[in-house]
Chains A and B, each alone.
Chain A
Amino acid sequence: MKEKYKDRYEDALNELKGIAEKFYEQLEDGEVPNMRIPTRSKSNIELDRREGVWKLGDSKTRRSAKKLKSARMLLRTLYMLELIQDMIEEDKSSTLREMYYISEGWDKAEFSKQSESDSLAEDMELVTGCLREDFKLRPEEDGARLIGDITVEEVNRKGEIREINCRDDVGDSGYTIPYNVESDKVTFGDVNVDFLIAIETGGMFDRLVENGFDEEANALLVHLKGQPARATRRVIKRLSEEEDVPVVVFTDADPWSFRIFASVAYGAINTAYLSDFLATPTAEYIGITASDIMTYDLPTDKLSKNDRKALEQELEDPRFDTDFWKEEIETMLDINKKAEQQALAKYGLDYVTDTYLPEKLEQMGLM
């Protein structure tokens, strides 16, 4: 298997070396070293109508050694590049957090926050067109879980293929999604579910498990764990695309949860260049909606100043520029209230599985 993917690393390496070559040439010509990086901001994402996902636009930002901060980023780019080169040659990998710590030995190129090194890794994906997995970099922990009647075939660390039924072969905490879910690592066997329900909070995931909702509704439950990791989004995308599983997203009713849905369905702004790869444009939002708060008369909290600001921003966000979302956001601003998924417990622990979800799923034609 390693042999098979050797090309992938070679390609990444060549792409990365291209960056160093460019700096070198610029210096030789007496220029100030610089690189152009596609701008990762709300203003530079556009809808790919064919795919139905939001992708990065054409706007680019120049990172030049004229400024101290940018100069430092260029130097870090070279150090990171060297680290990747070494890892590929020595067949090792590191987590993003490990890389952040490794940078302590990089003198002036040391990172001061992990978010900086994470972001630079993303920049490099963007510039080279590779994935960070190609760079031998992986996220610290994924650990998102899923439960439901599907069978995955996973190649384990010994190179053996294991068949795992995600309902029968796992405990109550479900199957843990590994960081690499590409077909070299994970393939799907039998898929016997009617739909996939992605759940924001662990509490609600466990409630659905305890209530046996996976079997009752023939659903695949996926825990998003807040803003979902790439692997989680990738699994959802693959199941939707390869296995035709309909996807719904179940979150709290607040502006931040709306963004979780957007990143599952349309792609995140930061990783818009990966939307093709990660976004599931057919995903639907099941709730909790602002209208649900009123319909089900749920216990609520008042919107904070930041909540309102986030909602205002979402009104400007092209990803939310649909009638459904405009109305939801405006309603929320109107009633000035938000609610948690667990608020449904007001009507008893079974209410969510007996009443709320069936009603909503019925409206969507999934039950």
Chain B
Amino acid sequence: MASIAEELAEKQQEISVGEFFERNKHILGFDSLTKSLVTAVKEGVDNSLDACEEAEILPEIKVKIEEVNDREYKISVEDNGPGIVKRKVPEVFGKLLYGSRFHEISQSRGQQGIGVSAVVMYGQLTTGKATLVRSKVKEKDYANEMKITLDTKNNEPEVLDEEVVIWEGKDHGMRFETTIKGLLRRGRHSVFEYLKNTAIVNPHARIEYVRNGNTTVFKRATDQLPEKTKAVQPHLKGIELGTLAKMAKNSKRRTLKSFLKHEFSRISYSKAEEICEYAGIDKKTNPGELEVEDCKDILKAAEKVKLMAPKTDCLSPIKGMLIKKGLKNVLKGKHPDYYAPPTTRDPEVFSGNPFQVEVGLVYGGDLPKDGPINVLRFANRVPLMYKKGGCAVTSAIKNIDWRIYGLDQRGGKGMPKGPAVVLVHVASTRVPFTSEAKEAIADIPEVIDEIEKGLRECARSLRTHLNREKKRKKVKKKFTVVNDILPMIAEKSAQIVGKETPELSKSMTKIMGVVYVDKNYEWDNGVCKIDIEIMNYTPKEKDMNLFFEKPYPETELLSSNEEPAHQGDHLEWKLESLKPSEKRKISIEFDGGLEKDDLDGTDVYIEGITETKLIGAEPLPDDWDIELAEIKEGQ
């Protein structure tokens, strides 16, 4: 954002903010009527999510859009965040590019927007209406409500109306309501799509969307808040010239050496001296007196000096099972067959900026089989909805020959086809966007490489899954053998030989050679009854652990025929000494207003059985930090 800020600061001298806005609509996300609506919602929701996260509150966000006139919509976004103290409200909503984040290096959604004040201005410019803002902080018994407009000449807020109100049932939170020109459309670039995708990567949020009176709710899939992102000092490699100049100007340090040491990460005194030497600037120079040319020399010097890579612990990935939960929460209506264990790559660095890639993949079910796969792109938990063609994510996908992983792809190049959804999340303290519009990630080789690696990990899981599916079908045929044919062979041969029918369990296990898990779901007045039958069709006695992933944190276990060894986001049972051809059944009942789509058979995991011998359940994912029971193989 820094460069826009500077540009704006410069331009402010000559032209009004309003004019600047008009000229730069495309950068600010208001270049079409449809997009304007999405941008307005996005600015509000991104702010709300950031605020809630910072205050460690599980977000509850309500978005309302109502058509009031032709191509004129009343939009409101409400959250349960910490609220904004009264004196700051006008600045946040009525001053363009106000905010604390512009010089901070951290993974936040905010770095991607121009700020909610742009929405206020857009509304004002297109409909002439003011924005109504309500805010309540925990410490006060009442909320403040004010009507705000923006003085476009001086970039200063104007408060038109102000009152104190009681906010029923609200302890703290924010709400703003504005009227803007726009066009509400369905499809790939709709508000709905934006909110849906936001829900996927923010499974800890509850998002309600009311569109002309119709309500859609994206339920909260987890109580786990994302880890807080840490603000870090910038790394000298990769910093923009303007930012460096500004930092130098504002620095309170008295020498260049001390400035470098204290305001940048990974620079020691000796490194700082080395840089000064290379740059040919006296280390005792006051940073406030540095010229732009000096700054250029410092950046050149930084390239020559060996600096430790920046710290990467400032990033907060979504992480494995939460990605799955998010995807499942939104895709459950499509009944996918398979959720590949999502990949969270280790953090990497591109020109001084730490970044981290995450990938998820969903396959099968009612996902459309014809046409290209659906790609969901995210940067710092914000959906990227435009410029798909020019995005590093798309390049990485096209680089892979998907045919070897089980997807169709003409000539092993380009967009693969098939019933799959691929999610790619890039988290960074500075996401490398292609342009100021921040709609696509630039083709940085390090970033593409990481995305590709993440994709391949998921793709390998998909291939394994497809192979296991094939095996499952084969094993299913074997059921006919052991359940129907073999007993008949036994009976007939015994009859011909004139002896007793022999015991078959050993022969049976030799034919099957797997542990088979059968699941059955039944619904009865909002109560879900689940039978999980585990059959040991191997010739050896087996111990294993069974896990059931609950769809929602509030899902309540009503009953279980066997007491779970553990209860939480998932339930766990220890199944000990299951003899060859022995079956065991776990019968559970859930309450919590579950719908059919909430449970789909991809929620059962078994731990302790080799993947290749397990049919009908997934092996326990690696990233479930679960204290494992001792697994021993019986005789």
Contacts and interface: CB of A to CB of B under 8 A. Distances in A.
Interface of A: 17, 20-21, 23-24, 26-28, 30-33, 65-68, 71-72, 74-75, 78-79, 81-82, 85, 107-109
Interface string B483-495: 0111011101111
A28 B502 contact: yes
B504 interface: yes
Interface string B395-414: 00000000000000000000
Interface in B494-508: 494-497, 499, 502, 504, 506-507
Contacts of B486: 33, 65, 71
A30 B480 contact: no
Given A65-B481, A68-B478, A68-B485, A75 B492 contact: yes
B477 interface: yes
Contacts of B495: 82
Contact of B485 (A21, A26, A108): A108
B484 to A, nearest CB: 5
Contacts of B480: 68, 108
A84 to B, nearest CB: 11
Contacts of B478: 66, 68
A33 B489 contact: yes
A27 B488 contact: no
A92 B255 CA distance: 115
Given A65-B481, A65-B511, A68-B481, A109 B496 contact: no
A109 B511 CA distance: 19
Contacts of B506: 30-31
Contacts of B504: 27
A68 B482 CA distance: 9
B507 A23 contact: no
Contacts of A27: 489-490, 493, 502, 504, 507
A72 B492 CA distance: 13
A72 B485 contact: yes
B537 to A, nearest CB: 12
B496 A74 contact: no
B510 interface: yes
Contacts of B502: 24, 27-28
B492 A71 contact: no
A21 B489 CA distance: 11
A17 to B, nearest CB: 6
A166 B494 CA distance: 51
B595 to A, nearest CB: 37
Q: Which of A20, A27, A108 has the most CB of B within 10 A?
A: A27
Given A24-B502, A71-B481, A66 B511 contact: yes
B496 A82 contact: yes
Contacts of A74: 485, 489
Contacts of A79: 492
Contact of B510 (A17, A24, A32, A67): A32
Contacts of A81: 496
A43 B40 CA distance: 75
A79 B478 CA distance: 21
Contacts of B481: 65-68, 71
A228 B492 CA distance: 36
A334 B106 CA distance: 80
Nearest to B509: A30
Contact of A65 (B477, B489, B496, B499): B489
A353 B14 CA distance: 116
Given A27-B502, A30-B507, A71 B496 contact: no
A291 B502 CA distance: 64
A75 B499 contact: no
Contact of A78 (B477, B493, B507, B511): B493
B473 to A, nearest CB: 11
Nearest to A69: B477
23 contacts: A20-B493, A20-B496, A21-B497, A23-B493, A24-B490, A24-B497, A24-B502, A27-B489, A27-B504, A27-B507, A31-B506, A31-B507, A32-B511, A33-B507, A65-B485, A66-B481, A66-B511, A75-B489, A78-B489, A78-B496, A79-B492, A82-B495, A85-B496
Interface of B: 477-478, 480-481, 484-486, 488-490, 492-497, 499, 502, 504, 506-507, 510-511
A-B residue pairs, 10 tightest by C-beta: A30-B506, A20-B496, A78-B492, A23-B493, A24-B493, A27-B502, A71-B485, A68-B477, A71-B481, A20-B493
Nearest to A74: B489
A17 B488 contact: no
B488 to A, nearest CB: 5
Contacts of A30: 506-507, 510
Q: Which of A17, A68, A85, A108 has the most CB of B within 10 A?
A: A68
Contacts of A23: 489, 493
Contacts of B497: 17, 20-21, 24
A68 B511 CA distance: 10
A216 B559 CA distance: 97
A28 B485 CA distance: 16
A75 B496 contact: no
Contacts of A17: 496-497
B305 to A, nearest CB: 67
Nearest to A24: B493
Nearest to A107: B488
B582 to A, nearest CB: 15
A237 to B, nearest CB: 35
Given A27-B502, A27-B504, A27-B507, A20 B485 contact: no
Contact of A31 (B485, B496, B499, B510): B510
Q: Which of B481, B489, B499, B507 has the most CB of A within 10 A?
A: B489
Contacts of B511: 32, 65-66
A65 B496 CA distance: 19
A195 B418 CA distance: 69
Nearest to A20: B496
Given A28-B502, A71-B481, A71-B485, 6 more contacts: A17-B497, A23-B489, A33-B486, A65-B511, A66-B510, A108-B484
Q: Which of B486, B492, B495, B499 has the most CB of A within 10 A?
A: B492
Contacts of B477: 67-68
Nearest to A72: B485
Contacts of B510: 30-32, 66
Nearest to B539: A30
Contact of A108 (B488, B490, B507): B488
Contact of A109 (B488, B490, B494): B488
A24 B485 contact: no
B500 to A, nearest CB: 10
A28 B493 CA distance: 11
B260 to A, nearest CB: 72
A33 B494 CA distance: 13
Given A75-B485, A79-B492, A82-B492, A24 B499 contact: yes
Nearest to A68: B477
A67 B504 CA distance: 16
Contacts of A107: 488
A27 B505 CA distance: 9
B315 to A, nearest CB: 51
Contacts of A68: 477-478, 480-481, 485
B579 to A, nearest CB: 14
Given A31-B507, A65-B511, A71-B481, A20 B488 contact: no
Contacts of B484: 108
Contacts of B493: 20-21, 23-24, 27, 33, 78
A85 B497 CA distance: 12
B520 to A, nearest CB: 24
A23 B504 CA distance: 12
B321 to A, nearest CB: 37
Nearest to A73: B485
Q: Which of A17, A24, A67, A74 has the most CB of B within 10 A?
A: A24
A68 B499 CA distance: 25
Nearest to B485: A71
A247 to B, nearest CB: 43
